[in-house]
């Protein structure tokens, strides 16, 4: 399959990459080894954009990611990712398996540490935060795991009460119960309160996972493959739930997925990752109209 | 190849020492998860009483039966209660209790935390700003540190009772007479170091079980590996501590 790339970068074609050089040699004109720059789409309408607070009228972005690189041993997973999300915006990150989507959002909550680059949440560079400061930040950021990650030794009620017990120590038992019921009503599962996670279906687990995350009222939500492994109907319900939560609590979200129905239902803007870097950016409709062969593979 | 193996060994050893040292830092840091500690004490202590009791009883019975012929040949039947009490309280009771706990509790902790790591439950705690080390490791290790000594004392008492039953197979003796004879041969240096070392046994069983589970790699196979290596490493650690304790006791006496 032909891959469209941005050829305006002189480094890409004029200099040999590091792998093609004899051992110990550097590329002509430089002392540092030449990196193979990540490709971007040739479609001019889908080029990655910079945040424009004044023109957009939405203020500063709530999430700013600049030049994030991450590698595991010899494998470069992220190669200079730049991205931003405004308050109240749903950003979908599309990409094939192994493109670094999950690693990127794990970097955003400190589960992974980037090798270079910066991640700013609420205007604070998370790499400069102490452990306690990072934890204070984490309370404002919700994370829905791909497999929900419910605590399987606890009931649904205990799963939801656990973060409240840890962070809202002054809450009375009545208020905790009210918050739990409210969270379960939000996800439409009030009758599952005393179930064990092992008794829940995949869709129910996702909803309870979402309720557990939302109970702390985060301002940012990170969804890791929220519809993976679910049937079409349940996946649609989860996508609707994501939109409902955004509208109800004005949450900014990053949704990692390769489910196009979920992307279509939830995205205000889509960023496509390829080989650990941003390949294209645009709305669902803009990307759907693209002639780029690689982008087309997601839509057909 | 050899260099790489050495590097891995030293890396793992350093990692384990750092993990153990972190326990003392987190121990004094609030919040103190009293409810979780009590629940873990219930799981570690109360849930092990039948197994430890049965093992202790068998230890006492076997020890009394096996030593009787030798003692009889010296005409020293009356020394059997003392021999059973000194052997059980000084060495066999604490060590066998610790080995059983390493198998039962260490493997459970390795598998439980390993499973939590694989299913991202530990990551979920981390991103919810809940310190998983504090909530999972500290509570479990405190529970084993407190419960293993109690289980060892319990095993000692049951073993003495087992010795009394075994002695009554061939010889008639009263329970009171047996226990008085058993206690007459015990000294402070027999009891105190034996109890102190069980706190160390409990601590290593908890911390190694948690270390193996907490650091399990991704994949279901790693849960089994974590459980298995927790048993092997904590059993070995129990014997090493016992060796050190024996040397220290010898120096003191």
pTM: 0.83
How confident is the model over A150-207, as pLDDT tens digits? Answer: 999 999 999 999 999 888 878 888 999 999 999 998 888 888 889 999 999 888 899 8
Q: In 10 A of CB A134, how many CB atoms?
A: 18
Domain that holds residue B79: 32-252
Best of A72, A139, A149, A164 to mutate (most B CBs within 10 Å, chain B): A149
**What interface predicted TM-score (ipTM) does this complex get?**
0.80
A53 and A27 in one domain?
no
Per-residue pLDDT tens, chain B, 253 aa: give them.
Answer: 667 777 788 888 899 999 999 999 999 988 888 999 999 999 999 999 999 999 999 999 999 999 998 988 988 888 999 999 999 999 999 999 999 999 999 999 999 999 999 999 999 999 999 999 999 999 999 999 999 999 999 999 999 999 999 999 888 889 999 999 999 988 888 899 999 999 999 999 999 999 999 999 878 888 999 999 999 999 999 999 999 999 998 888 7
Six-digit token pair at B48?
């092990």
In a domain, A42, yes or no: no
Measured between beta carbons, the chain B residues lying within 8 angstroms of A151 are: 116, 121, 124
Would you say A274 and A93 are in contact if contact means Cβ atoms under 8 Å apart?
Answer: no
| Cβ separation B127–A141 shorter than 8 A | yes
**Residue A26, pLDDT above cutoff 70:** no
Which pLDDT belongs to residue A53? Answer: 60
Would you say B106 and B234 are in contact if contact means Cβ atoms under 8 Å apart?
Answer: yes
Kindly identify which residue of chain B lies nearest to residue A218, measuring between CA atoms.
B128
In a domain, A43, yes or no: no
| Cβ separation A143–B127 shorter than 8 A | yes
Round to whole Å and give the CA distance between A266 and A91. 8
In a domain, A183, yes or no: yes
In a domain, B11, yes or no: no
When the pLDDT of each residue in chain B is averaged and rounded to a whole number, the result is 92
In a domain, B26, yes or no: no
A151 and A56 in one domain?
yes
A61 and A4 in one domain?
no
| Cβ separation A111–B127 shorter than 8 A | yes
The CATH number that applies at residue A286 is 3.40.50.300
In a domain, B141, yes or no: yes
How many domains is chain B partitioned into structurally?
Answer: 1
| Cβ separation B128–A166 shorter than 8 A | yes
Strands A75-85 and A220-224 turn out to be unpaired
| Cβ separation B129–A145 shorter than 8 A | no
Domain that holds residue A76: 49-299
What is the residue whose two structure tokens read 């379960």?
Answer: A184
Residue A253 CA, chain-centre distance (Å), reads 8
A135 and A277 in one domain?
yes
A124 and A256 in one domain?
yes
In a domain, A118, yes or no: yes
In a domain, A255, yes or no: yes
In a domain, B4, yes or no: no
Q: Which residue, A266, A254, A258, is CA-closest to A223?
A: A254
A246 and A102 in one domain?
yes
Q: What DSSP string runs through B152-184?
A: HHHHHHHHHHHHHHHHHHHS---HHHHHHHHHH
A83 and A20 in one domain?
no
How confident is the model over A51-99, as pLDDT tens digits? Answer: 666 555 666 789 999 989 999 888 888 888 899 998 888 999 998 888 8
Which residues are CB-contacts of A229 (< 8 A; sequence separation ≥ 6)?
A202
Would you say B115 and B223 are in contact if contact means Cβ atoms under 8 Å apart?
Answer: yes
In a domain, B68, yes or no: yes
Q: Give how far A267 is from chain B: nearest CA, Å.
A: 24
């Amino acid at each position: 399959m032909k891959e469209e790339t941005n050829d305006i970068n002189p480094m890409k074609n004029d200099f040999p990459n590091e792998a093609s050089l004899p051992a110990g040699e550097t590329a002509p004109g430089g002392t540092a080894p030449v990196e193979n720059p990540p490709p971007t789409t040739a479609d001019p309408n889908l080029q990655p954009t910079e945040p424009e607070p004044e023109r957009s009228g939405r203020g500063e972005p709530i999430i700013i990611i600049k030049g994030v690189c991450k590698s595991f041993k010899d494998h470069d997973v992220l190669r200079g990712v730049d991205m931003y999300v405004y308050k109240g915006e749903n950003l979908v990150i599309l990409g094939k398996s192994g493109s670094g989507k999950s690693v990127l959002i794990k970097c955003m909550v400190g589960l992974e540490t980037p090798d270079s680059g910066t991640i700013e949440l609420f205007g604070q560079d998370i790499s400069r935060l102490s452990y306690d400061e990072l934890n204070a930040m984490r309370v404002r950021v919700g994370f829905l795991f791909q497999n929900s990650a419910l605590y399987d030794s606890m009931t649904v009620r205990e799963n939801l009460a656990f973060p409240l017990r840890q962070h809202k120590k002054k809450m009375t038992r009545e208020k905790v119960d009210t918050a739990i019921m409210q969270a379960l009503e939000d996800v439409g599962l009030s009758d599952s309160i005393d179930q064990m996670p092992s008794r829940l279906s995949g869709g129910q687990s996702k909803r309870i996972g979402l309720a557990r995350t939302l109970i702390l009222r985060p301002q940012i939500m990170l969804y890791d493959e929220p519809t993976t492994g679910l049937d079409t109907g349940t996946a649609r319900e989860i996508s609707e739930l994501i939109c409902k939560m955004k509208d109800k609590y004005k949450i900014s979200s990053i949704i990692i997925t390769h489910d196009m129905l979920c992307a279509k239902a939830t995205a205000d803007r889509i960023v496509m990752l390829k080989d650990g870097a941003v390949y294209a950016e645009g709305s669902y409709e803009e990307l759907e109209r693209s002639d780029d062969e690689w982008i087309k593979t997601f839509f057909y | 190849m050899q260099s790489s193996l050495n590097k891995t060994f030293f890396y793992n050893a350093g990692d384990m020492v750092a993990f153990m040292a972190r326990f003392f830092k987190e121990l004094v840091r609030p919040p103190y998860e009293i409810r979780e500690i009590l629940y873990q004490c219930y799981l570690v202590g109360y849930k092990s009483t039948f197994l430890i009791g049965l093992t202790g009883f068998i230890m006492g019975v076997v020890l009394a039966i096996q030593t009787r012929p030798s003692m009889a040949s010296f005409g020293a039947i009356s020394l059997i209660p003392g021999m059973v009490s000194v052997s059980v309280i000084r060495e066999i009771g604490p060590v066998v209790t610790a080995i059983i706990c390493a198998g039962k509790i260490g493997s459970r902790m390795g598998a439980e935390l390993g499973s939590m790591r694989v299913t991202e439950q530990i990551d979920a705690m981390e991103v919810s700003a809940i310190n998983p080390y504090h909530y999972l490791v500290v509570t479990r290790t405190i529970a084993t540190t407190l419960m293993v000594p109690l289980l060892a004392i319990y095993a000692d008492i049951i073993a003495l009772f087992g010795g009394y039953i075994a002695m009554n197979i061939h010889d008639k003796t009263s329970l009171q007479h047996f226990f008085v004879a058993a206690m007459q041969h015990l000294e402070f240096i027999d009891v105190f170091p034996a109890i102190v070392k069980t706190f160390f046994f409990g601590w290593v069983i908890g911390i190694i079980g948690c270390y193996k589970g907490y650091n399990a790699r991704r994949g279901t196979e790693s849960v089994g590996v974590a459980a298995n290596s927790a048993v092997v490493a904590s059993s070995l650690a129990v014997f090493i501590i016992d060796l050190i304790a024996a040397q220290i006791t010898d120096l003191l006496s």
